[in-house]
A = this chain, B = another copy of it.
Amino acid sequence: MRQADLQTLQQSSLFHDIAPRVVAGIAADGLVQALPKGTFLFAEGDQPEFCHMILGGRAGLIAQDGADRETTIEFFGPGDMLVGAAVILDMPYLVSARLAADSRMLLIPAESFRRHVRHEPALANACLRQLASHWRLLIGQIKDLKLKTAPQRVGGYLLEKAGDVGGRAVVTLGEQRKVLAGRLGMSPESLSRALAELRSFGVGCHGRDVVISDVKQLREYCKQSKVPRANA
């Protein structure tokens, strides 16, 4: 394992307040792999063999239907643990994971990881915090799917990426339309139309770069209720 990888680990949100000695101990059991975009790390139904940590790059969780249909549930980046839930519970994965970019992964054997979690309270607490924040991501998504229209979900996604700024913001979509559409629970065509719809709220879309001319206005639009006819 490279020194740089160890440093990345140490600085990650998951490990940053864990003693270096402990981090090194955990990492020592694992192996680092550089893998190309498109690699499947595991598939729905598999029993977890490793705890997958992203050192660099990006991975998406995907759910597949019987047929060719698939949808991305969420993307994760450096410092994220992929589907820790399955590893911790030692239960089959409910989703698959695929690299959305060339990535460096740290693979820690599942049993070894669980042992570390059991014996190293600091690690257990770090996992707890990360799992909690991932839980919140999913809650946000369920709320969006159930309560928002397609353009509102797109707007919400843009706002998330823009962060907590005031007036103008520029965001770069890291994914191609088809994948992003899946993540947002709509077809690529609908994403395109949603983006078109948002133009009237000051969202300009040039290739993969998106300019939000008035964050506040967009935020207002996305908060709106999905109004029933009677109230219109």
Contacts and interface: CB of A to CB of B under 8 A. Distances in A.
A143 B84 contact: no
Contacts of A94: 136, 139-140, 143
A208 interface: no
A66 interface: yes
Contacts of A226: 65, 69
Interface residues of A, number: 46
Interface string A100-113: 00000000000000
B132 A63 contact: no
Interface stretch (A121-129, A167-175, A193-201): A121-129
A63 B141 CA distance: 11
A219 interface: no
Given A65-B147, A124-B121, A225-B67, A135 B136 contact: no
A26 interface: no
Main secondary structure of the interface of A (DSSP, over half): helix
A125 B117 contact: yes
A66 B226 CA distance: 8
A217 to B, nearest CB: 16
A73 B135 contact: no
B131 A132 contact: yes
A207 to B, nearest CB: 27
B139 A69 contact: no
Interface string A4-40: 0000000000000000000000000000000000000
A178 interface: no
Nearest to A71: B146
B95 A129 contact: no
Interface in A67-92: 67, 69, 71, 73, 84-86, 88-89, 91
A143 B96 CA distance: 12
Interface of A: 63, 65-67, 69, 71, 73, 84-86, 88-89, 91, 94-95, 117-118, 121, 124-125, 127-129, 131-136, 138-143, 145-147, 182, 185, 223-227, 231
